[in-house]
Structure 1
Amino acid sequence: MATYVIDSALFRDQFGTEPMRAIFSDEATVQRWLDVEAALARVQGNMGVIPAAAAEEIQRKCKVENLDLAQLKAEMDRTAHPIVPLLRAMKKVCSGEAGEYIHWGATTQDIMDTGTILQVRDGLDQIETAYRELYDNVCTLARKYRDQVMVGRSHGQHALPITFGFKAAGWAEELRRNFTRLRQMRERVLVGQFSGAVGTLAALGNDGIEVQNRLFDELGLACPNITWHTSRDNIAELISVLAIACGTAGKIAHEIFSLQKTETAELEEPFMPGKVGSSTMPHKRNPPVCEGVIAVNRLVRATVPLAIEGIVADHERDKVVLQAEREYIGRIFNMVHVALKKMAFVTAGLSVRVENMEKNLYIQKGLLMSEAVMMAMSDRFGRQEAHEVIYQICMDVFEKGGSLKEALMQNDTVSANLTEAEIDRMLEPYAYTGQAGVFVDRVLAVPLAG
C-alpha cells in the first residue's frame, strides 16, 4: 500500500516514471551501498590493506538478493542506524572471517553519500535522454513552422506578429542552455565520498589517500579535494539545476495550455479517442498533460529552498540535512523526469492550428500593426509625436469600434502623409515579423552540448 503519489498504483505515472522509481528503489539503494562496499574491498584487497581472500568473498556476496530487506528494516528501526545492520547482515552472509573486513576505514556517510551519487548519475543519464528527446521535438517544430505567422503577446495581450517557429526556437534555446547546465554540473556533483569518521581518513593512516583515489577510479567518480560530509552545496546545485530544467518544461506546458484556451485555440496537446475532459460536460477537450506538468513543476520548484537550506550544516556531520535529502532527491528526479517525458510526448504530437493562428492576427482589426504605422509616421514627425497621434487613433478604435485602417484614413494628419496603399502594406502582419526566421536559423545552427 502506497501513501505517496510517486509510489501510488493509481497516480504514480503522473508524478514519476518506472525507470526513475527503479533507480531510487529500496533494492537499488541497498545495492548501491553494496557496490561501494564491494569496490572498497576490491581496492583494499589489491593494495594488501585487507586480505585478498576476504576482499574476493566480500565482492561475491555484495548482492542485494543475499539480504532480507524486511529483516534489514527491522534492524534499522532497532538500532536507529542504516549501515550497521547492513554490515552485520553481510558478516553473516560472508564465509569465514571475511565479513570482518567489510567497511574498512569507512564511515556510514561515505557509503550512503557515494551510493546516492551513483544513483544520481543513473538518474541524470535518464533525464538527459528525455531532455534530448524534448529538445529534438521542439527544434522540429521551430524548423517546420519557421515562417508560420502568429500573434506575439506581451502582458497577455496582442503585441506584434511573430512566427510559431520563432516561439518554438525560444523554447529550444532555453532547453539548450539547461542541457549545458546539466552537463557542466556533473563535474561538481558526480564526486565520491570516502574520508572516514570526521573526514581525515585517520583510520587508514598513510594508505588513506591511495585507497580514496583508487576507489573513485573504480566507481567512475571524481575524487574530492576534501570531504564534503557537511558541504552540501553540490546537492543544492543539483536540485537547483534540475528545478531550472523542469521549469522550462513547465513554461512550455503553460504556453501550450494558454494557447489551447477556447478563445485562442492555436495549439492543442495530443488528443486520443477515449480521452475525457469532464464527467458532466461531454464536449470538453482539456489539456491534462500540460496541467500535470505545470503542477509537478511547482512541486519541484518548492523544494529548492530546502536544498539550499542544507548548505548550512553542523560541523563535521549533520544527520538532519541528510534525512531531508533522503526524502527529496529521489522525489525530484522522478518529478523532473516525468515532466520531461510528458512534454516530449506533447511536443511530438502537438496539434498546431494554423488556421486559428492566422484568424487571430486580424481579430483586433489592424491594431496589432500599430507599431508599423507609428514607425512610418516617425519619418515625417519624429517618433514621440507619431506615437501620440497613433495612440489616440488606436484608443478611439478600442472604445468606439471599427478598424484601424478606417480610423487612419479618417485622420487628417495620417491621410495627408500616407496613401491607402501604404496603409494597407503597413497593416499586413505577414510583412512585419522582422528577423524571426533568422533567429530561428541561428538557434537551430547551434548543436546540443555533449
Structure 2
Amino acid sequence: MPGHVIDSEMFGNSYSTPRMREVFASRSVVQSWIDAESALARAQADVGLVPREAAEEISRRGLVDDFDLVALGEGIAATSHTLMPFLRRYQELCSEEHRGYLHWGATTQDIVDTGTALRMRRALDIIAEDLAAVRERLRQLAEEHAETVMPGRTHGQQALPITFGYKVATWLAEVDRHHQRLAQLRPRVLVGNLNGAVGTMAFVGEVGLEVQARALGDLGLGVPEICWHSSRDRVAEMAGWLAMAGTTLGRIGREVYQLQKTEFGELEEAFPEGRVGSSTMPQKRNPATSESIVAKAVILKAQAQLGYDAMMQEHERDKALWQTEWEFLPEMFMLMGGITADSRKVLDQLVVDGDRMRRNTGLTGGLIMAESIMLKLAEVVGRHEAHDLVYDISMRCAETGTPFADALKADVTVRSVLGEDAIDRHLDPLRYTGLAARMARAAAAPPG
C-alpha cells in the first residue's frame, strides 16, 4: 500500500477522484514547469532578450513524455535540488545553440510557484463545476420541500417546527457564500511569479516587468504587484477557503448522517443494489458516503493551519516552510475533490421522507408547540406569566408522559383564555413554521 491513502489502489477513490489526482500527479507537475519555462522564453523573445529561434525550440522541445519521472526523482534526491534535474534534462532536449537560453533570468521558485498556480487553476475549475451542481441541487430541494414540515432541533432536542426546505436553504446560503468567495479569491490567488533570485529582476533588467506580464498573460495567470516568494498569504487564503468550503459540505454530510439514524428516519442516502452496510448484519443501510464526506472534511480543515505556518518565511526566500506547501496543498485539493464529488452523489440521490418528518413533530406529545401556546396566552396574560405557566405544564408533561394537549385543557387558566378548539388549532405544527417556506423559496430563486 502506498504511504498515503489518497494514492492507495484500494482506498484512494474513497478520499479523492482520479480526475483530481491527475491534476497533482508528477506528470502534471512537470508539464506545468514546461509551460512556465516555455512561456517565459516566448515572452523574452518578444522583447528581444533571447533569440526567437531559442524560444521556439524551448517550446517545441518541451514534451512531458521525454522526461523520465523516476530519473527526475533520483536526480532530486542526489542533488537535493527541486528543479536542477528537470532543467538538465530539458537542456539535453534542446540544441547546443539554444539550450543556454532556457530558464534565462528565472529562479527555481519562479517556475515552481507559477506551475503550482497553473495546477490550482485546473483544480479549482473541477471544484467549481462540482460546487455549481451542489448549489443547483440544493435549490431544487429547497423549492421542492419549502413546506415539508419537520422538527427544528437545538441542543440536540426538538425545538420548534421548521420545513426541510428551510433547512436546505441555510445550507444553500452557506455554499453560495463560498461560491462568492471563490470568485473573489481567484484573481488574488491564481497569480504567477517570474521575478528572479530575490525578486528584483536584476538579471533581466528594464524589460523584466514586461517579460513577466507577457509570460503570465500567455499562461492566463495574474501578474503580481511585486514578488511574492516569501509572501505566502495567497497560499494561506487558498487553504482557508478549501477548509471552509469543505467543512460546510462536511456539515451537510453530517446532517444527512444524523437524520438517517433509525430513530429519525427523515433522510436516506440512496442504497443501490450491491452496496453492503455490514459484513455481519445483513439489514444495515449505512450512510457510508456521508460518513466519508465528514471524515475527509475533518482531515481537510486540520491542514489549513499549515497554510498559516507557511506564511512565516524568512527574508526574501525560505525553502524550509515553502516546501510544506508541496505536501499539504495538493492533499487539500484532492480531499476537496473527493468531498465535492461525494456531495453531488449524496444530494442528487437523496431520499426525503416527508411523512416521517411530519410524524416526528409529534414525538414530544405536542411539546414542540409550547412556544405557539405561550404566544397566544401572552396576548392576554403577558409574556412572562405565559412563559411560567406553559413552563410548569411542559415540565409535568415531560416527566409524566401526559399529552401536552390534555394538560393544557386541564389547566383552568389556559382553558379559560384559549378554549379547547383554539388549543387544538395552535398545536398544529403546520401553523407555526413562521416564514420558513418563504425563506426557502427566496433562497431557491435563480439569482437575478
Counterparts of residues 44-123 of structure 1 (less than 5 Å): 44-123=44-123
Worse-matched range after superposition: 266-275 or 28-37 = 266-275
Deviations 1:1-23 (A, max 9, x none): 52211110001111111111111
Aligned-partner Cα distance in 2 for 1:422–1:247: 44
- Check conservation: 1:266, 1:357, Cα contact below 8 A: yes
The reply to whether residue 150 of structure 1 matches residue 150 of structure 2 is yes
The residue number in structure 1 matching 2:432 is: 432
Deviations 1:217-252 (A, max 9, x none): 111111111111010011000010111111111011
Q: How much does 1:66 deviate?
A: 1.5
Identity across matched positions, percent: 43
Aligned-partner Cα distance in 1 for 2:68–2:363: 68
Q: How much does 1:201 deviate?
A: 0.5
Number of corresponding residues: 448
Q: How much does 1:96 deviate?
A: 2.8
Counterpart secondary structure, 2:150: strand
> One-letter code of the match for 1:368?
I
The reply to whether residue 274 of structure 1 matches residue 274 of structure 2 is yes
The reply to whether residue 22 of structure 1 matches residue 32 of structure 2 is no
Counterpart secondary structure, 1:416: helix
The residue number in structure 2 matching 1:335 is: 335
Deviations 1:162-188 (A, max 9, x none): 111111111111111111111111011
Q: How much does 1:447 deviate?
A: 2.0
Aligned-partner Cα distance in 1 for 2:96–2:188: 40
The residue number in structure 1 matching 2:401 is: 401
Deviations 1:273-324 (A, max 9, x none): 1211111111111111000100000000001111111111111111122211
Which sections of structure 2, spanning at least 5 residues, go unmatched? none
- Check conservation: 1:134, 1:341, Cα contact below 8 A: no
> One-letter code of the match for 1:276?
V
Q: How much does 1:446 deviate?
A: 5.2
> One-letter code of the match for 2:307?
A
The residue number in structure 2 matching 1:347 is: 347
> One-letter code of the match for 1:15?
Y
The residue number in structure 2 matching 1:414 is: 414
- Check conservation: 1:192, 1:224, Cα contact below 8 A: yes
Aligned-partner Cα distance in 2 for 1:352–1:273: 19
Aligned-partner Cα distance in 2 for 1:218–1:277: 51
The residue number in structure 2 matching 1:6 is: 6
Counterpart secondary structure, 1:150: strand
Aligned-partner Cα distance in 2 for 1:217–1:264: 55
- Check conservation: 2:117, 2:191, Cα contact below 8 A: yes
Aligned-partner Cα distance in 2 for 1:294–1:323: 28
RMSD: 1.0
Counterpart secondary structure, 2:203: helix
Aligned-partner Cα distance in 2 for 1:317–1:279: 53
Counterpart secondary structure, 1:203: coil
Q: How much does 1:432 deviate?
A: 0.8
Q: How much does 1:160 deviate?
A: 0.6
The residue number in structure 2 matching 1:259 is: 259
Aligned-partner Cα distance in 1 for 2:67–2:366: 73
The reply to whether residue 368 of structure 1 matches residue 400 of structure 2 is no
Deviations 1:254-277 (A, max 9, x none): 101000000110001111112111
Aligned-partner Cα distance in 2 for 1:75–1:337: 31
> One-letter code of the match for 1:360?
N
Aligned-partner Cα distance in 2 for 1:290–1:221: 36
The reply to whether residue 240 of structure 1 matches residue 214 of structure 2 is no
Which sections of structure 1, spanning at least 5 residues, go unmatched? none
Q: How much does 1:445 deviate?
A: 2.6
Using structure 1 for the length normalisation, give the TM-score.
0.98
Deviations 1:388-446 (A, max 9, x none): 00000000000111111110111111112111100011100011111111111221235
Using structure 2 for the length normalisation, give the TM-score.
0.98
> One-letter code of the match for 1:183?
A
Counterpart secondary structure, 2:160: strand
- Check conservation: 2:367, 2:404, Cα contact below 8 A: yes
Deviations 1:129-171 (A, max 9, x none): 0000111111111111111111111111001111111111111
The residue number in structure 2 matching 1:160 is: 160
